Amino acid sequence: MYVNSMKLNAGLYARVSTSDQNCEVQLHELRDYVERRGWTVHKEYVDSGFSGAKASRPAFDQLMKDAAQHRFSAILVYKLDRFGRSVLHLSQALATLDANGIRFIAVSQGVDTDASNPTSRLLLNILSSVAAFELELIKERTLLGVRAARANGKVLGRPKRVFRRDEVVRLRDQEGLSWRAIAKNLKIPVMTAVDAYKNCTEIVPMENSVPAGKPKRKKSAA
């Protein structure tokens, strides 16, 4: 159940991109907006020194978490770009709020997603369409970048891990170390050690004794 708009409970969000800037101007406008309507403030969420292009920000993340738990019935920001600069992220956040029944208001721009506002659904649809277009542009630019890198001879993907695979076999068969201990010793992931051991398939007698039941393997050339 949501609070009636006559006595609405709101979360206020303000953001500045650098730590030497101040959110007080934004917060003053938001508090004044709430006071004039006789609403109440649940909490003020402030991100200082965070770019709006970042999808994850401490206060923003807490705001969205509280919205999902219906801690308030509306979110107020001074301008849309304070909430997010990426159309894609903005659209996703507003869609999440809409799904949770949370009203979104940008007080200086007349943006209000209240169900009684005839333009609210149009706004959400427009943002969704622009966000889809932005996503396609991102994919296209990424693909072009990959093609250009390959054309210039750049090797993509994770760098290959350089380590002695025969040392994995020695530590396992002769020293009897666990996979975790081997991985820590060689500074590699546990599954990399396991795979290296499995792929060393040459089996020959070894001078040193080994635990019963384990195959004897030949060290590969260094």
Per annotation, catalytic residue among 17, 48, 51, 128? 17
116 annotated active-site: no
Please tell me what DSSP assigns to residue 81. H
**Percentage with pLDDT > 90 across the chain:** 30
Q: Tell which wins on pLDDT, 96 or 208.
A: 96
CATH number of this structure's domain 5-132: 3.40.50.1390
pTM of this prediction?
0.57
Contact 40, 34 (CB under 8 A): yes
Least confidently predicted of 18-32, 113-127, 173-187: 113-127
**Span 104-117, average pLDDT:** 85
The dihedral sign for the CA sequence 99, 103, 107, 111: positive
Q: For 197-220, how does the pLDDT look when each residue is reduced to its tens digit (9 = 90+)?
A: 887 744 444 444 444 445 555 554
What residue spans define the domains of the chain?
5-132, 158-222
Contacts of 93 (CB under 8 A, 6+ apart): 64, 83, 84
